[in-house]
Amino acid sequence: MIAFSASTAKSFTFDLWKSGERKDEIIEKAKKNGISLYEGGRSYTGKNFVLSNKLEYQTILFSEKADVYIYFTNKTDILYMIEITWDNIKKINKAGDLYAKMRIMLNEKYKEKNESHGQYQGYMRNGIEYKDCKYTLKTYQKESIELRFNECDNSIIANYKDEFLQKKNTEEETQINSIDKKDEAKF
C-alpha cells in the first residue's frame, strides 16, 4: 500500500478532512462523527464506465445547505480535492451576501491572490443549461484554494486542492487508461 504525507507544500485541511488521508480513514472518521457519506456509483469517461472515486455529503454552512464532495486518487484512494457547493441560492442578495462572507473569511485566513472574471458558453449545472454564465473566480495565496461565484444560477463553489496529489491522480488516470487500451486489443 502506498501512503502519502498530508504535509505537502500545497496540502489543505477542510473541516475534519486532510489531503493525503486514505479513503478508509475518511470513512471511519465520518462514522465516528455521525456524518452520513454517499459514495457515487459509476461514471462514464467517454470510453467506458469507471467506479466513481468520490464521497459526498450534505451539511449546513453559513446557514445554507451545502454539498461537500471529497475526491480521491483513482488507484491509491488518497484524498486530493474537496469541493463545497451552494447551488441555486434562491435570492441573489442572499447568494451575494454568502459569497462576500466567504471572500472575507478566506482572505483573512489565506490572503487573496487574484480575481478574474469570465463567461461560460453552454454551462450545464444540475441538468439545466445556461447559454451564457458569467462568473468571478478568486484564488488565494495558498494557491490550492479557489472560490467561484456563478451569476447565472447563483451558485458558489469553493475548491481545496492538493496540487501534488492532484498530479499523482493524473498519473494514475494515465496508467489506468493505458491498461484499458491493452485490454481493448484483446477483443
Written as nine digits, the cell of 61 is 454552512
In tens, the pLDDT along 43-67 reads 555 555 555 688 999 999 988 899 9
Other C-beta atoms within 10 Å of 163: how many? Answer: 17
Spell out the domain ranges in the chain: 13-181
Convert the pLDDT of each residue in 78-127 to its tens digit: 999 999 999 867 676 788 889 999 999 998 988 888 899 988 877 777 77
Contact 33, 16 (CB under 8 A): yes
Helix (H) or strand (E) holding 86: strand 79-86
- Cβ count near 143 (within 10 Å): 14
pLDDT, mean over the chain: 81
Query: Would you say the C-alpha torsion 126, 131, 136, 140 has a positive or negative sign?
Result: positive
Q: Which residue has the cell 498519473?
A: 171
Give the contacts of 112 (CB within 8 A, at least 6 positions apart).
103, 106, 138, 139, 140, 141
Q: What is the pTM of this model?
A: 0.79
Share of the chain above pLDDT 90, in %: 30
Q: Is 16 left (phi over 0), alpha (psi -120 to 50) or beta?
A: alpha
pLDDT digits (tens, 9 = 90+) for 64-77: 899 999 999 988 89
Among 2, 48, 5, 18, residue whose Cα is nearest residue 164: 5
